[in-house]
Homo-oligomer: A and B are copies of this chain.
Amino acid sequence: MEIENGCEWSGGDDGQVQEVQERLVDGVTAARLARTFKALSDPTRVRIISALSHRELCVHELAACLGMSQSAISHQLRTLREMRLVRRRKEGRHVFYTLDDDHIHDLFHQGLEHVEHE
């Protein structure tokens, strides 16, 4: 893996590196952060979240809205469910999905703002 312990810059001592190291997010937090952002890192999932941010929808409606197969949508809904981003409610043959987490909603919209004016 070949890891060095610091370059000759930063005054020759590693104190400055260590200072950054202390303020750095820890491994577990970094992993959870990455996992959170990963939930929104796919166009299909982004569009699902976007659709559900307007109103509750069943799987078939989502598939129709996005122009994708029911299976593909169902697979993505599964991962969104496991990430606790969506919740499901069964009603007869239909399963309705809603956004579960308001924070993700905020994150989504902040990302949207960032993308829209650039």
Q: Enumerate chain A interface residues (CB-CB to B < 8 A).
A: 1-7, 9-10, 14, 16-17, 20-21, 23-25, 27, 29-34, 36-43, 45-47, 50-51, 54-55, 57-58, 60-61, 63-71, 94, 103-104, 106-108, 110-116
Contact = CB atoms under 8 A, between A and B. Distances in A.
Contact of A51 (B20, B70, B112): B20
Copies in the complex: 2
Contact of A7 (B30, B46, B60, B67): B60
Given A50-B30, A61-B7, A67-B3, A36 B114 contact: yes
Contacts of A37: 37-41, 46, 111
A114 to B, nearest CB: 4
Q: Lowest 8 A-B CB distances belong to which pairs? A: A7-B60, A38-B41, A37-B40, A103-B114, A41-B41, A37-B41, A30-B43, A34-B43
B47 A30 contact: yes
A51 B65 contact: no
